[in-house]
């Protein structure tokens, strides 16, 4: 049974010993971050701060900060189960006869049940405030790090519509609070919210677009904003797939957008297409501050929330943080999709230190000359994997989750001048080393065995391994050696 809402997930975490309540008053300005850091560094539990200073609303953080909690969020024993379900749908064959068609019906019915459902009302409407009654400071919004430009909503679901197709998008874009009713809207250049903004602006430069923001929902829905799925594919449909039950959506009070009915808090408003404002700095998941930049502004006209809402947030900073586990789940869950397009891919790893966009290791079953470079180019053109600054491609027999084996075999396989290539393209907005904002160079490292058909005419040595016969002989006398 899918979680009804965030508090049902909180109860589950508590039952599983994965959540601790903090009853002491702690300040959302810096102090909650420091407490959270100490707990996460010790692989500790989710924290429910019951008395954040200056607010009557409790704050939930680190709810997804371990593989176990991500599994609880998706109600699976292992993330591979979610991947397996995706594979099941991707593998669906076109039915040959009537019997095959009948066999497919339950699967199709299941697919149909994932589409979001519009309902009349929901818990997120229990309390409503309009206009001057709106005050974002009612909520315990964090200032995370000392040089942050202010307080930031860090775990929002930002809803917009493609002005041309009317299709919905949901993105997780942080929001700097400027005053009671105004925030920044940090959708980075290549993200879908930013694309909606640009398309609307091209049509009507002085207009505005409606925006709704939901904070906190059942775990699959709350996480859907970070999913790297293609434009115009509905994140709420994907959330329905993840939770195995349709997401119920309700209409906003003041515009034609819809938000999850079970959201803890909803902010409704608009973004002016001719207004930009300085956003940042913000202590980011690179472990450095992302510096000030110009971003659109979100004007809040209406707030609705549950009677006693929980404010869901996360802290980013030097890796690994909570978002590493969210990203790791995405890596595991989407691997079958990558493998469907590129069956030669055996495994993919994005170590925490690479903060997703800096390093991707790919193991492939190489079968033609230049194959490693083909995979690099494929990854640089695959959705948000375009941001990958360094790609290392190795042969299928390297255990890429074993970092020491990976480094050893990669370095042994290299003739650097021959095996490294540079390309230019879009960069992650947070990359502070790129020569320009959002644009720079990337590096591909071909650490596969080189073939004669790739111009390598020397012999390639075998890896050292003892033969089985000798091992068996020594096994037989091992005890007598008393070593
Ligand atoms: C904790 C966290 C914070 C994030 N903050 C931002 C942000 O401020 N701006 C942004 O563009 N992406 C941010 N992201 C990444 C986006 O949520 C992610 O790229 C998502 O796929 C974007 O949705 P879209 O593809 O519909 O645009 C954040 C992700 C996480 C996990
Ligand atoms: Mn999207």
State pLDDT tens for residues 157-215: 999 999 999 999 999 999 999 999 999 999 999 999 999 999 999 999 999 999 999 99
Query: By mean pLDDT, which of 77-81, 83-87, 294-298, 383-387 is the weakest?
Result: 83-87
**pLDDT at residue 241 in the model:** 96
Determine what percent of the chain is predicted with pLDDT higher than 90.
93
Answer for the pair 60, 311: CB distance below 8 angstroms, yes or no: yes
Q: Which residues contact 312 (CB under 8 A, 6 or more apart)?
A: 6, 59, 60, 61, 63, 155, 215, 216, 222, 264
**pLDDT at residue 90 in the model:** 82
Q: Is residue 350 predicted with pLDDT exceeding 90?
A: yes
Provide, for the chain, the percentages of residues in helix, strand and coil under a 3-state DSSP scheme, each rounded to the nearest 5.
Answer: 35, 25, 40
DSSP type of residue 122: -
Q: Return the ligand number nearest the Cα of 171.
A: 1
Mutate to test the pocket of ligand 1, among 172, 239, 295, 437 (most ligand atoms within 8 A of CB): 172
**Is 284 an active-site residue?**
yes
Task: State the pLDDT confidence band at 285, using cuts at 50, 70 and 90.
Answer: very high
**pLDDT at residue 96 in the model:** 80
Answer for the pair 270, 208: CB distance below 8 angstroms, yes or no: yes
Q: Assess whether the C-beta atom of 290 lies below 6 angstroms from ligand 1.
A: no
Residue 272 Cα, ligand 2 centroid: separation in angstroms?
Answer: 21
**pLDDT at residue 99 in the model:** 82
Residue 187 Cα, ligand 1 centroid: separation in angstroms?
Answer: 7
Determine what percent of the chain is predicted with pLDDT higher than 70.
100
Helical spans, DSSP H, in 91-129: 98-112
Answer for the pair 75, 58: CB distance below 8 angstroms, yes or no: no
Residue 163 Cα, ligand 2 centroid: separation in angstroms?
Answer: 14
Helical spans, DSSP H, in 210-280: 219-223, 235-243
Query: By mean pLDDT, which of 94-98, 217-221, 226-230, 256-260 is the weakest?
Result: 94-98
Distances (CA, A) of 477 to 409, 469, 471: 33, 13, 10
Average pLDDT on 472-482 reads: 98
**pLDDT at residue 103 in the model:** 81
Strand 390-395 versus strand 439-446 pairing type: parallel
| Whole-number Å distance between alpha carbons of 362 and 372 | 9
pLDDT per position as a tens digit, 359-371: 999 999 999 999 9
Mutate to test the pocket of ligand 1, among 165, 226, 230, 388 (most ligand atoms within 8 A of CB): 226
Q: Is residue 93 predicted with pLDDT exceeding 80?
A: no
**pLDDT at residue 235 in the model:** 98
**pLDDT at residue 304 in the model:** 98
Q: Is residue 263 predicted with pLDDT exceeding 90?
A: yes
Q: Helix, strand, or coil here: 377?
A: helix
**pLDDT at residue 160 in the model:** 98
Answer for the pair 154, 142: CB distance below 8 angstroms, yes or no: yes
| Whole-number Å distance between alpha carbons of 165 and 199 | 11
Q: Assess whether the C-beta atom of 384 lies below 6 angstroms from ligand 1.
A: yes
Residue 160 Cα, ligand 1 centroid: separation in angstroms?
Answer: 14
| Whole-number Å distance between alpha carbons of 315 and 85 | 31
266: phi then psi, degrees, rounded to nearest 5: -130, 130
Average pLDDT on 29-45 reads: 97
pLDDT per position as a tens digit, 313-327: 999 999 999 999 999
Q: Which of 138, 148, 218, 284 is catalytic?
A: 284
Q: What's the number of CA atoms in the CB half-sphere (13 Å) around residue 364? A: 28
Q: Is residue 94 predicted with pLDDT exceeding 80?
A: no
The pTM assigned to this predicted structure is 0.96
- Please list the residues that pair with 161 across neighbouring strands: 168
**pLDDT at residue 343 in the model:** 96
Average pLDDT on 130-148 reads: 98
**pLDDT at residue 197 in the model:** 98
Distances (CA, A) of 345 to 125, 187, 375, 470: 46, 31, 8, 35
The position carrying tokens 């979001």 is 116
**pLDDT at residue 44 in the model:** 98
| Whole-number Å distance between alpha carbons of 88 and 168 | 26
Task: State the pLDDT confidence band at 391, using cuts at 50, 70 and 90.
Answer: very high
Task: State the pLDDT confidence band at 385, using cuts at 50, 70 and 90.
Answer: very high
DSSP secondary structure string for all residues of 261-327: TT-SEEEEEEEEEEEEEEE--EE-TTSSEE--EEEEEEEEEEEEE-SS--EE-----SSS-HHHHHH
**pLDDT at residue 346 in the model:** 97
């Amino acid at each position: 049974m899918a979680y009804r809402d965030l508090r049902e997930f909180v109860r589950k975490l508590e039952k599983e010993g994965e959540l601790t309540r903090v009853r002491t008053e702690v300040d959302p300005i810096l102090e909650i971050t420091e407490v959270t850091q100490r707990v996460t560094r010790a692989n500790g539990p989710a924290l429910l701060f019951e008395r954040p200073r200056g607010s009557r609303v409790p704050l939930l953080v680190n709810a997804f900060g371990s593989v176990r909690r991500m599994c609880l969020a998706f109600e699976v024993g292992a993330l591979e189960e979610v991947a397996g379900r995706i594979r099941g749908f991707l593998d669906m064959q076109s039915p040959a006869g009537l019997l095959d068609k009948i066999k497919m019906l339950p699967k199709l019915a299941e697919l149909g049940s994932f589409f979001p459902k519009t309902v009349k009302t929901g818990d997120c409407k229990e309390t409503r405030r309009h206009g001057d009654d709106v005050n974002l400071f009612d909520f315990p919004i964090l200032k995370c790090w000392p040089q942050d430009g202010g307080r930031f909503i860090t775990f929002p679901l930002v809803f917009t519509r493609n002005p041309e197709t009317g299709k919905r998008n949901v993105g997780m874009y942080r929001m700097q609070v400027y005053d009671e009713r105004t925030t920044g809207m940090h959708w980075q250049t290549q993200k879908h919210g930013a694309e909606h903004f640009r398309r609307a602006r091209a049509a009507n430069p002085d207009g505005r677009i409606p925006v709704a923001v939901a904070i906190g929902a059942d775990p699959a829905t709350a996480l859907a904003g970070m999913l790297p799925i293609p434009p115009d594919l509905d994140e709420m449909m994907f959330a329905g797939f993840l939770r195995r039950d349709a997401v119920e959506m309700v209409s906003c009070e003041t515009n034609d957008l819809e938000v999850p009915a079970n959201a803890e808090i909803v902010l409704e408003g608009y973004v002016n297409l001719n207004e930009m404002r300085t956003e940042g700095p913000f202590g980011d998941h690179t472990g450095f501050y992302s510096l000030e930049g110009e971003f659109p502004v979100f004007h809040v006209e209406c707030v609705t929330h549950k009677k006693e809402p929980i404010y869901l947030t996360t802290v980013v900073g030097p890796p690994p943080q909570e978002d590493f586990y969210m990203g790791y789940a995405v890596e595991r869950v989407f691997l079958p999709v990558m493998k469907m397009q590129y069956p030669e891919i055996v495994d993919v790893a994005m170590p925490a230190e690479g903060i997703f966009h800096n390093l991707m290791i790919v193991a492939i079953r190489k079968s033609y000359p230049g194959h490693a470079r083909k995979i690099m180019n494929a990854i640089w053109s695959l959705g948000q994997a375009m941001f990958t600054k360094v790609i290392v491609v190795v042969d299928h027999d390297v255990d890429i989750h074993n970092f020491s084996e990976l480094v050893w075999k990669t370095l042994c396989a290299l003739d650097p001048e021959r095996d490294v290539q540079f390309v230019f393209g879009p960069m992650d907005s947070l990359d502070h080393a790129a020569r320009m904002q959002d644009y720079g160079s990337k590096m591909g490292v071909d650490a596969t065995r080189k073939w004669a058909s790739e111009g390598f005419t020397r012999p390639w040595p075998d890896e050292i391994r003892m033969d089985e016969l000798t091992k068996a002989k020594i096994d037989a006398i091992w005890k007598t050696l008393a070593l």
